[in-house]
Structure 1
Amino acid sequence: MAKHIFVTGGVVSSLGKGITAASLGHLLKARGYKVTMQKMDPYLNVDPGTMSPFQHGEVFVTEDGHEGDLDLGHYERFIDENLSRESNFTQGSIYQALIARERRGDFLGGTVQVIPHVTEAIKERLRRIAGQSGADIVISEIGGTIGDIESLPFIEAARQFKTELPPGDVLFAHVSLVPYIAAAHEVKTKPTQHSVKELRSLGVQPDFIVCRSDHEVSDAVRAKIAMFCDVPADNVLACVDAPSIYEVPLSLHDQGLDEKVLARLGLPAREADLAPLRGFLAASAACEGEVDIAVVGKYVSLPDAYLSVIEALGHAGVACGRHVNVHLVDGEEIDEGNVAEVLGGMDGVLVPGGFGRRAFEGKILAAGWARAHEVPYLGICLGLQAAVCEFARNVAGLRGATSAEFVEEIAASATEASEGHLAAAAASAVPLVVDLMPEQADVEDKGGTMRLGAYPCRLVPGSRAEAAYGEPVVYERHRHRFEVNNAYRDRLAEAGLVVSGTSPDGRLVEMVELPGHPWFVATQAHPEFKSRPTRPHPLFRGFVAAAAARRG
């Protein structure tokens, strides 16, 4: 039987529950236990796949094609395990499944209610991930903040779940804000007291309290929280802001969190192997020199929209012995007149994934700048499509080349500016070097219908991509609907664009590159999702190494 740990949050959101949960997962795995992790989100969306990154940050994609919460990225990077669609579910998905069953008549005319039906469905997901993963310990983070109406079914399900398992098989860790009040020159415990009081009113007594703060949390403060919250003082831990999120596991380890958790679960505290993490942090501290990388995107006002990209750049930087300065550049603000000014000081240009025409022309300009000025370039998903469109327009002579994704928008804007259907027809006649996948032609629903998850890619021998990976076939995760149009592949190849990676049957273009360029590689996949602190992704490592070489 797996042991279960529930992580809750109090006072405010964005406390770092995910980092705390992932850090605990790292520590328990370092002690030799098989760990898996799960995020329960209270919102009514079925998954974050159709949510704007401005709302919820990046959408993380698992190997089996689930569009999940960005915390899954933290989990994978910290415990170095590939998670699955069982690792993330929302209240919306629970309701969707229950309503489908009700419509089929599965409840035989009975009344469907939050208790027991919603809570039972949540508990079933807890049992399912434990059974399918074969984990010794399952860590489940409950999204939202204690006191939110929407999270009540999850708290109640977790409370019931504890009563159904033997004593010592379930524990609760509550992550709470301990704010510093500058006028009083002290941190305040009252918000945490109220948060724990609210949690206890729901029938849940936390076993551990992790105090998040930007100031020191003294022993006296922890003792006060312990007294008012009925938690042993040794089980109240400080988690103060750290320069790197990868320092958090060591901070919690130094306070004995992993050993105390195992004792509470009745498991032996095996020797902890933290050498890989310590080695990564030592290498990070030893980095000399810098590289400046422009990430030209659409959602740059919220860095979490490109969280895995930024993390992957950091991993590669440590491997190359350089600090990576990430400059988030709004593609909408790049034009012919300022592209040199915006990108001129950069050592590398990265264009990440995205959807929609907005900022696409700026991304094309960024790809063109990198190509023409021999600046290292890495294109990801839409970044590959931008590079192909730019090359088609300015090298292969395909004037106005673009993606079918934007044809309707182009036609609409042309119609507004000119003569109705004639302008629309002209706009739709541009070369569509990126087109909709045939199997996507009749798809109407937006959620969960793209090409999702891991797919094989056969690399061309002697290509830069093949040299970076060091193997002929690789698997990368995808999230897109549009592909390079095979009708133009020969024309692009004749002009010098190398298709360096394809699907095993050769039908789909997976990677392209430019020979003779210091580094110009683009992939239709999302390699950032597979980068780890101690194992940076080969494409990111090659890209950052080329940027470092350019800087000299």
Structure 2
Amino acid sequence: MLYLVEDDSDLPARYGALAALLADALHATLWPAPAALDEARFPDAVQFVTRDRGLAPSGLIWAERLGVLRAPCGDAPAAARERDIVVPLHPRVMGDGVSAAAWRRQADGQDVPVRHCRVLRAGDAWRVVDVATGLAIPGLDDCRQDDFGRWSAAPPGADSLRRAPRIVHGEPARLCIALIGSEAGQREGYPATLAALGDALDAARIDSATLDLRFVAPGTLSPAGAPAALAGCDGILLPGGADMRAVPGQVRAARHGWLSGTPVVGLCLGMQTMATAVLQVALGTDDVGLTEVDANVRVPSFVPMRADPPAASEERHRVGEHRMQVVDGSHLRTILDGEHGLRYNHRYRFNAALHPALTAAGLNVVARDDSGQIVDAIEARDHPFFIGMQGHPEQSSTRHRPHPLLRAFVDAARAAAAR
């Protein structure tokens, strides 16, 4: 059977989300359809790293977390002869020839049965409805998101939703985490980081009444104002992203965490801004920066993949799942406990010429790629928690199996809050 699921949302975080819940309920496979998302409005709209070393709509993280996503091979109607296939269709971002009618004609031509569904809103929930009957698909008549954006088809009050911490703003709290990104960008553009943080908080059994999650847009962090904006935070999460306008604010947040002893974790771009901040402090100059932001920066902390001979590889863009070699005896090695695979998406790498300065400043390189040339992780020697990864651990997290790095970060933030 071929299931076509129409969803009128144009938000990258919603791409395929309800279709993934249907695929999970059917024990089916989600088969992504082409989409043209607005990357000007949402710079991180197409940042989900696929297993076949490509990039796809960021909303596919939901299908990945449920284990229903498969890389298309051949065509969906042909595959639907052998097993149930669910295709998400978002009319507002689809190209020509990918409408529900076009898919139905293709399936009819191959004698494949089709069930056409549509996503409808019902109050503060969503449902997946069979277009022919007007009835909701059983089990998908009350689909909701928790405070971390994670989708569930469980009814209100179900255990999986009840355990999710509630985010409180402006109330007294014993644990405060600053996520350096706009709330809209994290919820609507690239949802993986927020979901993975929720997974780690659940695993740590952080009670709803003790959590204050602050979304801090990096553009609001001025050099003088960053310490005040981040005062009282017990942990700082620096996410990845394709929007280079976030870099100055991330560097200021990382600098505050470095100097104040606040636990900091950096993901991809976040690792780059952490290293840059420490080098700025150590070298006593703000003229340290990312080449991706300023090609003429005086002291480049991160350079193009092939710009620093001898080249680590002929790749200009490292994307996909790779293994990293973690240094024995490092804190990161203890945290990962043997988990060394990660998904990557970057075109720039740490400038090897600055390795001595980084080490002298107190920041160790604790993981590299298989060639030994690309820095994959850094950690501080004398800091409660200051660890960054060049990859995307958030894309490997699930509700019942949070990524170890984010779980360790939450533990460090909780320890900081207790001091």
Same fold (TM over 0.5): yes
Is the CA contact 1:61–1:453 (under 8 Å) kept in the aligned structure 2?
yes
Residue 357 of structure 2 corresponds to residue 474 of structure 1: no
Q: Paired residue for 1:213, among 122, 125, 139?
A: 122
1:40: Cα distance to partner?
Answer: 1.6
Residue 274 of structure 2 corresponds to residue 387 of structure 1: yes
How far apart, CA to CA, are the structure 2 residues paired with 1:290 and 1:151? 52
Instruction: Write the letter of the residue equivalent to 1:157.
Output: A
Is the CA contact 1:399–1:431 (under 8 Å) kept in the aligned structure 2?
no
Aligned to 2:164, what secondary structure does the other structure show? helix
Of the structure 1 ranges 370-379 and 387-396, higher mean CA displacement relative to structure 2 is found in 387-396
Which position in structure 1 is the counterpart of 2:300? 432
Residue 223 of structure 2 corresponds to residue 340 of structure 1: no
How far apart, CA to CA, are the structure 2 residues paired with 1:159 and 1:479? 35
Aligned to 1:489, what secondary structure does the other structure show? helix
Is the CA contact 2:2–2:86 (under 8 Å) kept in the aligned structure 1?
yes
Which position in structure 1 is the counterpart of 2:67? 80
Alpha-carbon RMSD: 3.7
What pairs with 1:125-144 in structure 2 (closer than 5 Å)? 125-126=75-76, 130=79, 136-144=83-91
How far apart, CA to CA, are the structure 2 residues paired with 1:361 and 1:241? 35
Aligned to 1:40, what secondary structure does the other structure show? coil
Residue 32 of structure 2 corresponds to residue 52 of structure 1: no
Shift in CA distance, 357/372, structure 1 to aligned 2, threshold 3 Å:
same
Aligned to 1:365, what secondary structure does the other structure show? helix
1:114-164 deviations in whole A, cap 9, x for unaligned?
A: xxxxxxxxxx53257x39xx973221111225xx99565432332123324
Which position in structure 2 is the counterpart of 1:493? 359
Shift in CA distance, 363/285, structure 1 to aligned 2, threshold 3 Å:
closer
What pairs with 1:106-117 in structure 2 (closer than 5 Å)? none
Residue 122 of structure 2 corresponds to residue 239 of structure 1: no
1:190-241 deviations in whole A, cap 9, x for unaligned?
A: xxxxxxxxxxxxxxxxxxxxxx211699xxxx9xx99xx7517575874365
Instruction: Write the letter of the residue equivalent to 1:456.
Output: R
Uncovered stretches (5+) of structure 2, i.e. residues with no partner: 310-314
Residue 115 of structure 2 corresponds to residue 171 of structure 1: yes
Is the CA contact 1:286–1:321 (under 8 Å) kept in the aligned structure 2?
no
What pairs with 1:331-370 in structure 2 (closer than 5 Å)? 331-355=218-242, 357-370=244-257
Which position in structure 2 is the counterpart of 1:407? 294
How many residues align? The count is: 402
How far apart, CA to CA, are the structure 2 residues paired with 1:394 and 1:550? 23
1:533: Cα distance to partner?
Answer: 0.8
1:312: Cα distance to partner?
Answer: 0.6
What pairs with 1:226-305 in structure 2 (closer than 5 Å)? 231=133, 238-239=141-142, 243=146, 248-251=152-155, 280-281=160-161, 283-284=163-164, 291-297=175-181, 301-303=184-186, 304-305=188-189
Per the normalisation by structure 2, the TM-score is 0.83
1:10-48 deviations in whole A, cap 9, x for unaligned?
A: 5x655967332122222233xxxxx321222453xxxx6
Instruction: Write the letter of the residue equivalent to 1:384.
Output: M
Is the CA contact 1:39–1:143 (under 8 Å) kept in the aligned structure 2?
no
Shift in CA distance, 27/543, structure 1 to aligned 2, threshold 3 Å:
same
How far apart, CA to CA, are the structure 2 residues paired with 1:384 and 1:242? 29
Aligned to 1:54, what secondary structure does the other structure show? coil
Larger proportion of helix: 1
1:358: Cα distance to partner?
Answer: 2.6
Shift in CA distance, 19/357, structure 1 to aligned 2, threshold 3 Å:
closer
Instruction: Write the letter of the residue equivalent to 1:407.
Output: D
Is the CA contact 2:23–2:68 (under 8 Å) kept in the aligned structure 1?
no
1:532: Cα distance to partner?
Answer: 0.7
Shift in CA distance, 505/165, structure 1 to aligned 2, threshold 3 Å:
same
1:513: Cα distance to partner?
Answer: 0.5
Is the CA contact 1:144–1:151 (under 8 Å) kept in the aligned structure 2?
no
Q: Paired residue for 1:312, among 187, 196, 199?
A: 196
How far apart, CA to CA, are the structure 2 residues paired with 1:306 and 1:17? 11
1:481: Cα distance to partner?
Answer: 1.0
Is the CA contact 2:180–2:236 (under 8 Å) kept in the aligned structure 1?
yes
1:397: Cα distance to partner?
Answer: 5.1
Aligned to 1:39, what secondary structure does the other structure show? coil
Instruction: Write the letter of the residue equivalent to 2:304.
Output: L
Residue 37 of structure 2 corresponds to residue 39 of structure 1: no
1:70: Cα distance to partner?
Answer: 1.9
Which position in structure 2 is the counterpart of 1:465? 332
Instruction: Write the letter of the residue equivalent to 1:401.
Output: V
Instruction: Write the letter of the residue equivalent to 2:189.
Output: A
Residue 14 of structure 2 corresponds to residue 70 of structure 1: no
Which position in structure 2 is the counterpart of 1:5? 3
Is the CA contact 2:77–2:107 (under 8 Å) kept in the aligned structure 1?
no
1:279: Cα distance to partner?
Answer: 6.3
How far apart, CA to CA, are the structure 2 residues paired with 1:215 and 1:493? 51
Of the structure 1 ranges 341-350 and 240-249, higher mean CA displacement relative to structure 2 is found in 240-249
Shift in CA distance, 36/494, structure 1 to aligned 2, threshold 3 Å:
same
Which position in structure 2 is the counterpart of 1:454? 321
Which position in structure 2 is the counterpart of 1:157? 102
1:378: Cα distance to partner?
Answer: 0.7
How far apart, CA to CA, are the structure 2 residues paired with 1:216 and 1:389? 43
Is the CA contact 1:247–1:281 (under 8 Å) kept in the aligned structure 2?
no
How far apart, CA to CA, are the structure 2 residues paired with 1:285 and 1:386? 29
1:516: Cα distance to partner?
Answer: 2.8
Of the structure 1 ranges 531-540 and 56-65, higher mean CA displacement relative to structure 2 is found in 56-65
1:318: Cα distance to partner?
Answer: 0.3
Shift in CA distance, 160/69, structure 1 to aligned 2, threshold 3 Å:
same
